[in-house]
Amino acid sequence: MPGLPSFTRCSLRWLLCAGLSLSAWSAQAADGALAMHRLGASENAGAQLHGPALYLKGDGPPEAASFAAFLHQLSDDRLDVVVLGASYPNWEGECRTIAALDQVNSCTTIVIRDPQEASDPAVLDTIRHAEVVYFRGGDQCNFMQWRDSPLPAAVRQVVQRGGGTGGGSAGLAIQGSLAVYDGCQGSVSSSTALAEPYQDSVSFSEHMFDWSALHDTLTDSHFVKRDRMGRLMAFLCRQLASGRTGQAWGLGINEGTAVLIDRDGLGTVYGDTAYMVLADRPDDGCHSDSEPVSYAGYKVWRLDAGQRFDFAQRPRSGYYRVDVDQGAFSSDPYEAPERGHTLAMRTPDRRGGF
């Protein structure tokens, strides 16, 4: 809110304890590394939860209609949301969209530019008392510096009690449990990754989260817009070659697209297009650091708006195949040879949690 003063972190803790009736409050560390800003009610709602659920977005900001559907998967009550950022100083972009939703009690943006601040007690307390934690866009390498802090555990606690999490762009990239393409050596294009799958810019970190819905899965964003199918296939080939898994899955989500995964692992696509890609031939390509990718038989599921995919019981049909030979595709990897393919669906009465 324009005109509000900035406070030190000590003042922030006083505000939280005092429960002042402010429609928005803000706090900033003296060195500018940690910024916190809250829109909406000053007191938390304390909602009853029936999640968990994941909200995965192909670009940074959440979209209002799909995010509202995500919140309804979590509770019938009003909810408190935390948006986490590690790259940009602007505080309120995502929260201005989120706070306008009827079901939102408050939205707090926390920007952490010094990794040590991921252990700040006020940050951890705010996360633990929220029902939703959303990681926004930026640079996923900055997020990965939080991996060994108490912050990921605080997010897991939210999910374990039935809350929701997820992210967009860089915030999507850190959600997979197979590995995280960390971007710490700079971004890489599809053509470069296919031609030189072991070059420095094809760099991975151990996962930050281990959501069961994303087991053996690596996530990527801006998918069609930035032509990232090739690099995702190179990433998966690398995971097979390393022996980390015998089935490497990739989830690529385009800009303007959200994938909502409910408590049973059933994902629904909103907006545009997402892709699930499977590499399950460990003996194929990527074993040499001097050769382009060659891999026969990537399995690709194209998921358009309204389609569903069972992340808990992965389908064994409904895909089309794409080969890569010396870094070149056998066909257009974004289109099935014949449209109209169908997806294998799950039994709808399972209960579980990701």
pLDDT value for 32? 57
Give residue 285's pLDDT. Answer: 75
**Cα–Cα–Cα angle for 173, 177, 183, nearest 5°?**
35
Indicate whether 232 belongs to any domain.
yes
Per the listing, tokens 């690099």 go with 231
Same domain membership, residue 185 and residue 154: no
In the chain, how many domains are there? Answer: 2
Residue 245's domain comprises: 176-256+268-354
The residue type at 284: D
Are 150 and 224 in the same domain? Answer: no
Residue 19, pLDDT score: 38
> Residues 171, 136: contact at Cβ < 8 Å?
yes
Give 10-residue mean pLDDT values along the chain (354 residues): 32 38 49 84 96 97 97 98 90 92 98 95 97 96 96 98 98 97 94 95 95 97 97 96 93 98 98 97 80 95 98 96 94 82 38 52
Q: Which residues have C-beta within 8 Å of that of residue 339, sequence separation ≥ 6?
A: none
Identify whether residues 324 and 204 lie together within a single domain. Answer: yes
Tell me what pLDDT residue 5 has: 30
Kindly state whether residues 153 and 26 are assigned to the same domain. yes
Same domain, 69 and 209: no
- Domain-embedded: residue 262: no
Q: Are 70 and 96 in contact (CB under 8 A)?
A: no
Continuous H helices in 136-295: 140-144, 151-160, 170-173, 190-195, 229-241
Residue 220 sits in the same domain as residue 299? yes
Q: Is residue 44 part of a domain?
A: yes
Is the pTM higher than 0.85? yes
Q: Is residue 31 part of a domain?
A: yes
| 169 in any annotated domain | no
352 falls within a domain: yes
Could you tell me if 108 and 249 lie in one domain?
Answer: no
Q: Which amino acid is at 353?
A: G
Among 63, 38, 70, 96, smallest CA distance to 262 is for: 70
Residue 347 and residue 234 share a domain: yes
Q: Are residues 75 and 205 in the same domain?
A: no
Q: Computed over its alpha carbons, how large is the radius of gyration of the chain?
A: 20
DSSP classification of residue 215 = T
Query: Are 146 and 64 in the same domain?
Result: yes
Identify whether 309 is part of a domain.
yes
CB 114 within 8 A of CB 89: no
- Give 18: exposed, middle or buried? Use CB within 10 Å, 0-12, 13-18, 19+: exposed
Residues 199 and 314 in one domain: yes
What confidence score (pLDDT) does residue 26 get? 57
In a domain, 324, yes or no: yes
Eight-state DSSP code of residue 287: -
Q: How far apart are CA 298 and CA 2, in angstroms?
A: 51
Residues 153 and 204 in one domain: no
Element (H, E) at 10: helix 9-18
